[in-house]
Structure 1
Amino acid sequence: MKGITLLALSIFSTAFLSFTPINKKYIVIDAGHGGNDFGATHGEIREKNISLSVAKEIQKINESQDKYEIILTRDSDSYPTLSERTAQINKLNPEMVISLHVNTSPEKERSDNGFEIYTQNSDVSKELAGKIYKKFNARKISESNLHILRETKAPAVLVELGFINNSENRNYITSEKGQKEIAQKFVEIINEY
């Protein structure tokens, strides 16, 4: 009887101690546009594809991290509406939201280049924007009333990854090397959070 009790206690202890409570923390990466909404374009190059590729790369690189689980608002060429995106985000209650986009200038080949970051009117959003600004040597940060920023309850930023009509930016953000470097930097920022 004593042996059975010890065995049962041992099995219970092993099962109990190996149980780790699920306390997942989420980061949402919003790949801008999608489906029939191409976003900014340059010939056959479309913003929706660039933002999705970078979002997937962030998720892939982050898989080896334990701190956060990366959730994408879209993982294919679909178009969840802005309201659907923010409803999904608010339901998850993530630690932060990064919405990825690509900029364009009014003229054909302008000299505008680099990252631009838009924030909510919150200290946490502005702090996150500051980290992105430094990591990417961005050209500006400004507060904005864009839907994804206004309707998201979690700290959120919208990041323009460069200008599609600037050949240097375009070549970098459409290259596999450029997308991996951008994604790696975002993962570093996320895991410093």
Structure 2
Amino acid sequence: MKNLLKIISVVALSILLSFSLSKEKKVVVIDAGHGGNDLGANRNGISEKEIVLNIAKKIKALNQNQNLEIILTRDDDSYPSLAQRTEKINELKPDYAISLHVNNSPRQSTEMKGFEVFFQDNEASKNLANKFSEKFKDSKVKTANLHILRESKTPTVLLELGFINNPDERDYLASEKGQTETAEKILSVINGH
């Protein structure tokens, strides 16, 4: 009986080890939009390029999941071109890519607000967009003919995290608290998808 229990224990342990070793690591590319001389949207000394870079770096730093690798298209104030960003995504062949941006109303209205998710015209990208929409309440989900969505060969979404010309959203996204909370929400969607 003891030998049978030992054999069962060894077999069970072997199965568990082989399962954990065979589980592939998920790879997600985070693209912090703009950078370098391209400030992106900016108001009152606050620029989109800084906000999205800070959030991208926080997502990577907060990641505690051993089975998730976060790769950034930029981790400093550089400006990889749109072609370089999509080339990197296509070379890495991640599970999916997320491009971070901050919106700016063309009408310069301070009343425009909210989170928007743009996705490629495919089911995988749409499913990912819907997950973000569930996490960020009152968000809009739509397709768009944007370079990173058009040229990426992996499911990709572009997140507009809020409006820089809305003082409340700008102050929130520029704050340590707002950046950390936004990074945590994005990471929770990544871990749950």
Query: Normalization by structure 2: what TM-score?
Result: 0.86
- Mapped partners of 1:138, 1:145: distance in 2: 23
* CA displacement, residues 28-63 of structure 1 (integer Å, 9 cap, x when unaligned): 00000000111001021110000100000000111x
Structure 2 counterpart of 1:94: 94
Paired-residue identity, %: 53
Question: 1:45-93 CA distances to partner (integer Å, 9 max, x unpaired)?
Answer: 110000100000000111x111210000000000000111111101111
Distance in 2 between residues matched to 1:128 and 1:109, nearest whole Å: 29
Query: Could you tell me how far 1:109 is from its partner in structure 2?
Result: 4.1
- 1:137 maps to what in 2? 137
* 1:108 positional shift: 3.8
Report the alpha carbon displacement of residue 25 of structure 1 after superposing the two structures with TM: 2.7
CA deviation after TM superposition for structure 1 residue 164, in Å: 0.3
Contact 2:24 2:67 in 1 (8 A): no
Who is 2:52 aligned against?
51
Spell out the pairing of 1:171-190 with structure 2 (5 A cutoff): 171-190=171-190
Q: Offset at 1:127?
A: 0.6
Alpha-carbon distance between aligned partners in 1 of 2:106 and 2:76, rounded to the nearest angstrom: 29
Letter in 2 for 1:38: L
Aligned equivalents of 1:139, 1:185: Cα separation in 2 = 14
Task: Check 1:79–1:138 CA distance in 2 against 1; reply closer, same or farther (3 A cut).
Answer: farther
Deviates more, 1:105-114 or 1:53-62: 105-114
Q: Give ranges in structure 1 of 5+ residues lacking alignment.
A: 1-16
Distance, in Å, in 1 between the alignment partners of 2:29 and 2:125 is: 14
Tell me the amino acid that sits aligned with residue 153 of structure 1: K
Residue aligned with 2:99, SS = strand
Deviation sequence 1:147-177 (CA, Å, 0-9, x none):
0001101110000000001011001101101
Contact 2:31 2:98 (8 Å CA) reproduced = yes
Distance between the aligned counterparts of 1:55 and 1:28, measured in 2?
10
CA displacement at 1:26 relative to structure 2: 1.0
Distance in structure 1 (CA, Å) of the matches to 2:49 and 2:125:
24
Counterpart-to-counterpart distance in 2, 1:23 and 1:130:
24
Residue aligned with 1:83, SS: helix
Q: Which runs of 5+ in 2 are unaligned?
A: 1-16
Contact 2:113/2:162 (8 A) holds in 1:
yes
| Helix, strand or coil at the partner of 1:180 | helix
Q: Which residue matches 1:78?
A: 78
Q: 1:138 to 1:78 in 2, by over 3 A?
A: farther
What is the root-mean-square deviation of aligned Cα atoms in Å?
1.7
Alignment partners' CA distance in 2, 1:23 and 1:132: 23
| Displacement over 4 Å in runs of 4+ | 20-23
